[in-house]
Amino acid sequence: MTRVRVHNFSISLDGYGAGPRQTREEPLGVGGEALHDWFVQTRAFQRINGKTGGTTGADDDMAARFGEGVGAFIMGRNMFGPIRGAWPDDAWRGWWGKNPPYHVPVFVLTHHPRSPIEMEGGTVFHFVTDGPREALRRATEAAAGKDVQIGGGVATIRQYLGAGLIDELHVAIAPRLLGSGEHLLHGLDLPALGYECTTHTPTAAATHVVLTRS
């Protein structure tokens, strides 16, 4: 049965999943990149990016679940890139180069239509203008029984959380403070939505928390 998951999503101690003022130079906003220090040092991250080496242990164990059993991804327009408004042309094809790490269909939420983009390695970006539920319907169909992973960013995860559509949420709480940016959980009553903490694993680099919806 298809589950909807969020995995390896990093937030600060004060709850922000991205810093303010996203740009091409700082795609996660000011200070946001540092939230992922725990991830980029792992062996799993190095392997995903075609490299060797990296740390092992609990952080690597969690990082290695990226894409595990996943048949499709969903992401927001802001995660796909910094361009706002109507697409000026077809030049922007994501942050990840010619071979993004997804290797399955990816459904991008947007208000502006765009033709699908086929990338190397099996990643195909589809642009969905009919809202989160339609994106989930299409992703579930494309996943063909595997899981659907919500990649981000913050606003996209909040939409699915608020609708009770996420079955499992893994957040890695980095030992950093941002002070401003995009807050992941503000105003969401997670117990009322049926979520409870099922995993809590602290490491030197992050605290891994998994929330599961009953």
* pLDDT tens track for 138-165: 999 999 999 999 999 999 999 999 999 9
Strand ranges (E), 12-167: 16-18, 70-76, 105-109, 117-118, 124-128, 147-152
CA atoms within 13 A of residue 104's CA, in its CB half-sphere = 24
CB 184 within 8 A of CB 169: no
Instruction: Please give the model's pTM, rounded to 2 decimal places.
Output: 0.95
Cα-based distances in Å from 194 to 149, 162, 165, 169, 211? 19, 11, 11, 12, 10
Residue 143 DSSP symbol:
H
Q: Residue 156 is part of which domain span?
A: 4-85+103-213
- 98: in domain: no
Q: Quick check: is 92 in a domain?
A: no
State residue 146's pLDDT score: 98
Q: How far is CA 37 from CA 42, 108, 148, 202, 210, in A?
A: 9, 26, 25, 15, 19
One-letter amino acid at 57 equals G
What is the C-alpha separation between 214 and 211, in angstroms, rounded?
10
How many structural domains comprise the chain?
A: 1
The pLDDT-based confidence of 117 (bands split at 50, 70, 90) is very high
Q: What is the pLDDT of residue 50?
A: 85
Say if 122 falls within a structural domain. yes
Structure tokens of 199? 């995993």
Residue-wise pLDDT tens digits, 178-200 = 999 999 999 999 999 999 999 99
Query: Under a CB-based contact definition with an 8 Å cutoff, are residues 93 and 119 in contact?
Result: yes
Predicted local distance difference test score (pLDDT) of residue 22: 84
* Token pair for 83: 């361009």
Q: Does residue 205 fall inside a structural domain?
A: yes
Q: Which pairing describes strands 4-11 and 168-173: parallel, antiparallel, or unpaired?
A: parallel
Whether 94 is covered by a domain: the verdict is no
Task: Give the model confidence (pLDDT) of 121-143 as tens digits.
Answer: 999 999 999 999 999 999 999 99
Determine if the peptide bond prior to 153 is cis (ω within 30°). yes
Asked if 39 and 8 touch (Cβ cutoff 8 Å), the reply is yes
In a domain, 90, yes or no: no
Give residue-wise pLDDT tens across range 18-31.
999 888 889 899 99
Q: In this predicted structure, which of 6-10, 50-54, 159-163, 173-177 has the lowest mean pLDDT? A: 50-54
Residue 48 has a pLDDT of: 86
Q: CATH no. for residue 53?
A: 3.40.430.10
In a domain, 142, yes or no: yes
Distances in Å between the Cα of 59 and the Cα atoms of 41, 74, 88, 188 are: 9, 24, 40, 27
Does residue 27 lie in a domain region? yes
What does the alpha-carbon distance between residue 114 and residue 137 come to, in Å, rounded to a whole number? Answer: 19
Choose among 139, 147, 141, 71: nearest CA to 109.
139
Distance CA 124, CA 174 (A): 31
pLDDT at 74 over 90: yes
Percent of the chain with pLDDT over 70: 100
